[in-house]
Amino acid sequence: MAIQFTDQNVSEIIESGKPVLIDCWATWCGPCVRMSPIIDEVAEELGDKAAIGKYNIDEQNDLTAQYRIMSIPTILIFKDGKLVERLAGSQPKATLIEKMNALI
């Protein structure tokens, strides 16, 4: 299951050293809602090899401000605590799996 990223846990998870994928989303965003099951599937498929989850921009705002999230869905991908990729808009599962496998 996908992690629910919050302002309290997101920095610690990013700094964990393992690859991290964060889906920045909101409940009112249609494309975000359609991405939700894809994020869950990616999290299930990759298991403990990576931290995969969702960050609700309406409930949390540290990451939103830090990375200047202006449109959603936005996918942030981290490796060794550093942002290595930023994807705007809905993404197919295969793309997300491919990008994460390249970091594992």
Over pLDDT 90: what percentage of the chain? 98
Distance CA(68)–CA(93), nearest Å, equals 24
Res 56: pLDDT? 97
- E strand or H helix at 20: strand 20-25
Q: Please tell me whether residue 70 adopts helix, strand or coil conformation.
A: coil
Distance CA(25)–CA(75), nearest Å, equals 9
| Structure confidence by residue, pLDDT tens digits, 6-44 | 999 999 999 998 999 999 999 999 999 999 999 999 999
85: β partners: 77
Distance CA(77)–CA(5), nearest Å, equals 13
pTM of the model: 0.96
Catalytic residues: 29, 32
Neighbours of 69 (CB within 10 A): 20
